[in-house]
Structure 1
Amino acid sequence: MFYETTERYLRGEQSHLFEQQSPEFTRIHDSARANDPARDIAIAANGAVWVLKLPEGYGHREAEVENYELFTFDGFDLVRVEGEGVAVSADPDGHPYLVQRDGTILRRTAAGAWETLPGTATDIGVGADGTVWAIGTQEVPGGRQIMRLDGAPGEEAWTVVDGGGIRVAVAPDGEPWVADADGLLWRRLGGRWHRLPHGAIDVAIGADGNVWIAGIEGGKHGGNGVHRWNGRDWDTCDGAAIRLAVTPNGLPWLVNIRGGVYPRHLAR
């Protein structure tokens, strides 16, 4: 699942690359130490951080892993919690959503229990306003179908919209941004898709509206280029990533090609 959405944009052999070095980022997870690379990351509007990573020692045996283990960040380290999946997001109150390899969609309640949502998906995103979008399992031009979760709790159902994609993030106004299978990036406004410049293998949006992407230019030191939306175009920043998430105040956390996790601690 992880490399299905990234491998065509990883230019050249990168398995030998060292962990990225940048004064703007610190490292909170060293995948080389326990051979347990991170594979997805989400940050809620309240600041809760969720990471999916392989069990220790499985970095070179990923094909044997059905789902990745769920961790939260306690301010010092990643801590294992109940839950497994291949994609993760979180609602404004920090409750995680998971998509599993078989397409099952799970949501953790305030009481700590996991409940199953209808339908199947391959990726999921939750906005700061609580709006939920997902990438489904049915193939369409551009990737797979794009769906919005509608209805009251207990009566929820997915509404399929036009377009296709492989990764989705949700803006604070509830509108989705989608990276498609061709590396193109789209933003939905007023019920229509608008293509944005550049391209992406992943997109993430903070509660403050800051949008960051992992671009399609591979060969960087640790993954693909990292860019921030300035309202008209993309500003290129330090760092390299395959997956990313954004804090409530607009700073990115990166997952690089080796599965290390890097929070950005400088605004510039």
Structure 2
Amino acid sequence: MRTPRSFRRRLRRATVVAGLTALLSTAATSATQAPATAGTDCVPAWTMLDAPASEGVVDVDVISRDNVRFSEQLEEGARSLRWNGRSLVENGPQVPVPPRTANLFQVGAGSFDATGGWSLVNLHGPYQPDGAGVLARLDGGRWTLTTAGASQSPETGPSWLVDVATVDSSQAWAVGRVEGPAGGALIQRWDGTQWTTADHPAARRASADLRSVKAVPGGGVWAAGLQKNEQTGSYQPMVLRHDGTAWADVALPDPGAEGMLYALDASGPDDVWVAGISGSQSSPKPLLLHWDGQSWATVPAPEPGPYGGDIFKLYAPAPGQLWALTNDSSMGVFHVQHWDGASWQEVKPQGEQPEAFGFIFYDVDGSGPDDVWVTGTSNRTVPSDIGYPQLLPRRLIAHLSCGSE
């Protein structure tokens, strides 16, 4: 998942007044329904969970139907939440926030199993790196901050981690980039004791960048991102795969003159999806590729907006099914899209809301076709006496289910 930019950097945050009843109602069922699940009477529908003030839920990681973990960005610090199958509760002790960092502290992508896992954090805001990087570890019900290993080329610039994948308590992977003209893509491995930098083909490729990583049961570990074509100066999609022994490049279909990958997900080793953009960054088109275990195919992507668009998050619940979060370039309009194996349909987990509301989606995950979670921020703009509208953000957690939890 890509860590969202802080709203503090874009708009002055409003003071949220108590009793703001015009915002989203608690557990309001939306009008959008999904197709019935094959072989059952289930017709899943979306509900919105309670929405107190916050800067948004930036990550969701589904372990099972009754064990779902969320990372919520607060005005100062972060909060870990868990769905227990009946209600949303605070996930025990919280991520420690070092002194004098609370108003800059940011939480990002996370990955968990039944015993624990990892969240990426940034102590000094979205634009200031923390040296080699910092990760928050959940183990035995307690959170600790852990420093990432030194990059392969620390002399070229600081490093950034943007996604993490937990395999088990003794193994995890994190990906990102090393800044600087000689920097390359970064892969770190947790061996149960410490984080160290892993060797891989894109480590020394100038401007290479990994954006997403996924541990696929029975299929190794996959990572997706971009690399620069030194002859043309354009960016090209890049996928790497670890087969249990070493990382290797994965050959991809030709995306055209330019392309980048932002998202990756898989339901199994023969159902791997990667997505991002093709074309120029000024007028991008969504790019979607699928691996069936034998070869790659370019799959029709959701229609972009008038100024282009991208796919920045994927969830693959089963073969022939895909959820995608998309963004219309230059318009700041976010969409939730569903692929049924033949066509795309936009869904609105929030239902129909007044124009004063805006919805920013950050992450999507689930345990199957009829159990899907979408997280983000719901914003309401209100008039003010300071010359421009104030922004009232609240967390957004939407759940597609049959209502039997």
TM-score, length basis structure 2: 0.49
Contact map agreement 2:110 2:164 (CA 8 A) in 1: yes
Which residue number corresponds to residue 189 of structure 2?
107
Q: 5 Å matches for 1:205-244? A: 205=315, 211-217=322-328, 224-232=334-342, 233-238=344-349, 240-241=359-360, 243-244=362-363
Q: 5 Å matches for 1:76-115? A: 79-84=143-148, 85-93=160-168, 95-102=171-178, 103-109=185-191, 111-115=192-196
SS at match of 1:64: coil
Contact map agreement 2:313 2:324 (CA 8 A) in 1: yes
Contact map agreement 1:40 1:243 (CA 8 A) in 2: no
Aligned-residue CA RMSD (Å): 4.3
Aligned residues: 250
- Unaligned runs of 5+ residues in structure 2 are 17-22, 28-47, 51-56, 58-70, 78-102, 149-159, 179-184, 204-208, 254-258, 279-283, 305-309, 351-358, 380-392
CA distance in 2, matches of 1:165, 1:203: 13
SS at match of 1:197: coil
CA distance in 2, matches of 1:216, 1:96: 29
CA distance in 2, matches of 1:183, 1:52: 29
Match of residue 254, structure 1, among 364, 372, 375: 375
The structure whose residues are more often strand, as a share, is: 2
Query: Equivalent pairs: percent with the same residue?
Result: 13
TM-score, length basis structure 1: 0.69
Residues 1:90 and 1:38: Cα distance change in structure 2 (over 3 Å): same
Deviation at 1:47, TM superposition (A): 8.8
SS at match of 2:264: strand
Which residue number corresponds to residue 128 of structure 2?
64
With CA pairs under 8 Å and 6+ residues apart, which has the higher RCO, 1 or 2?
1
Letter in 2 for 1:191: S
Letter in 2 for 1:225: H
CA distance in 1, matches of 2:374, 2:238: 25
Residues 1:166 and 1:212: Cα distance change in structure 2 (over 3 Å): same
Deviation at 1:30, TM superposition (A): 3.6
> Larger C-alpha radius of gyration, 1 or 2?
2
- Unaligned runs of 5+ residues in structure 1 are 8-12
Q: 5 Å matches for 1:87-236? A: 87-93=162-168, 95-102=171-178, 103-109=185-191, 111-119=192-200, 120=203, 121-129=209-217, 130-136=219-225, 138-140=227-229, 143-153=235-245, 156-163=246-253, 164-174=259-269, 175-180=272-277, 182-189=284-291, 190-198=294-302, 200-205=310-315, 211-217=322-328, 224-232=334-342, 233-236=344-347
Deviation at 1:167, TM superposition (A): 1.1
CA distance in 2, matches of 1:262, 1:80: 27
Letter in 1 for 2:290: R
